[in-house]
Structure 1
């Protein structure tokens, strides 16, 4: 039910699954595995995969920490977005790429739950996209030393509240990776370009 009636497609956004971002992440291997499964399914179902990478003073472009984790590999032709803000749409070409693909619905996975995942979900939603948070395919590091709840609670809370997000003309939902509908009720796969 996206606010973009002329955009029937869905895209999988893989946000910041980079060495320097997930090195100390809660349940890292399981989350990366869930993301890998989603990426494989998206490719089989001809759903675009868009890779997002944080670039800043701590995660320098071209460094080992900037690289996407070795378990995942963007395929030739899959869009890659570099960002400097939490919201993957902010000051990037993401909205234009999604428009060009006819995407009105995004499935979001990656890191970190309480930063870039949260910001990207809200950014997509307020821009009119239907959003799906993959509940077992996002993670964060332990920031309890700074007053944050433990990572498992941060993840659980985000999963809880995102399912209650609402707005006219768009939906916000959650699903586990194994049950995510990558095409969407109104969507359709992108024509095979291979």
Structure 2
């Protein structure tokens, strides 16, 4: 049986700052809470990715993963410095060590880290499910955040990932073999 993991990308406090919050952040947190609960209940590993740069300075409150979805002590948190969660990190090795073949991806920001990580996961041979209502971004100068999200769902769903809504994502364990499916 193929094993699955949930990958939660860059859901950090700075993204919910009142001065420039991510689009529809409260709903994003609700959807992520639901996904994380489903994964943990089924015994499916949850991997968190945490961005580091001049805005997300390691150890600062802005850098911390949002407390409403905080990782458990035993869950893996990957530190990264580029939009690609695999680039110069040990994410791929950690997933291989767990024998993960399927990745369910959610988080921030749609047009940078979610897009890049989804494409890279596909290129590395993972079967990818992008949770289409569990990733967010900000308005750009030319497009609304909703337009950006819809566009990326269309592009990524056509070539790199299966698309599912939060309510459609189900994690289960094959009781006979104890393998995650």
TM-score between both structures, scaled by the size of structure 2: 0.91
1:80 maps to what in 2? Answer: 77
Equivalences, count: 175
Following TM superposition, where does structure 1 have runs of at least 4 consecutive aligned residues deviating by more than 4 angstroms?
Answer: none
Secondary structure at the counterpart of residue 36 of structure 2: helix
* Deviation, structure 1 residue 76: 1.5
* Deviation, structure 1 residue 31: 0.6
C-alpha distance 184-121 of structure 1, shift in aligned 2 (>3 A): farther
Are 2:149 and 1:155 aligned? yes
Cα deviation code 1:75-102 (max 9, x no counterpart):
1110010000101000000001000111
CA contact (8 A) 2:115 2:156 kept: no
Looking at structure 1, the residues matched to 179 and 8 of structure 2 have their Cα atoms a distance apart, in angstroms, of: 20
Looking at structure 2, the residues matched to 188 and 22 of structure 1 have their Cα atoms a distance apart, in angstroms, of: 36
1:109 maps to what in 2? Answer: 106
Looking at structure 2, the residues matched to 156 and 64 of structure 1 have their Cα atoms a distance apart, in angstroms, of: 30
Looking at structure 2, the residues matched to 40 and 134 of structure 1 have their Cα atoms a distance apart, in angstroms, of: 15
Q: Structure 1: which 5+ residue stretches go unaligned?
A: 1-6, 167-171
Cα deviation code 1:77-133 (max 9, x no counterpart):
100100001010000000010001110110000000001000110110111111010
Q: Pick from 173, 181, 194: which aligns with 2:162?
A: 173
Are 2:8 and 1:8 aligned? no
* Deviation, structure 1 residue 21: 2.9
Are 2:158 and 1:164 aligned? yes
* Deviation, structure 1 residue 162: 1.7
1:21 maps to what in 2? Answer: 15
Secondary structure at the counterpart of residue 30 of structure 2: helix
Q: Give 1:49-88 correspondences, 5 Å limit.
A: 49-88=46-85
* Deviation, structure 1 residue 188: 3.8
RMSD (Å), alpha carbons: 1.9
C-alpha distance 32-85 of structure 1, shift in aligned 2 (>3 A): same
Q: Structure 2: which 5+ residue stretches go unaligned?
A: none
C-alpha distance 111-49 of structure 1, shift in aligned 2 (>3 A): same
Secondary structure at the counterpart of residue 129 of structure 2: strand
CA contact (8 A) 1:21 1:112 kept: no
2:88 maps to what in 1? Answer: 91
Secondary structure at the counterpart of residue 69 of structure 2: coil
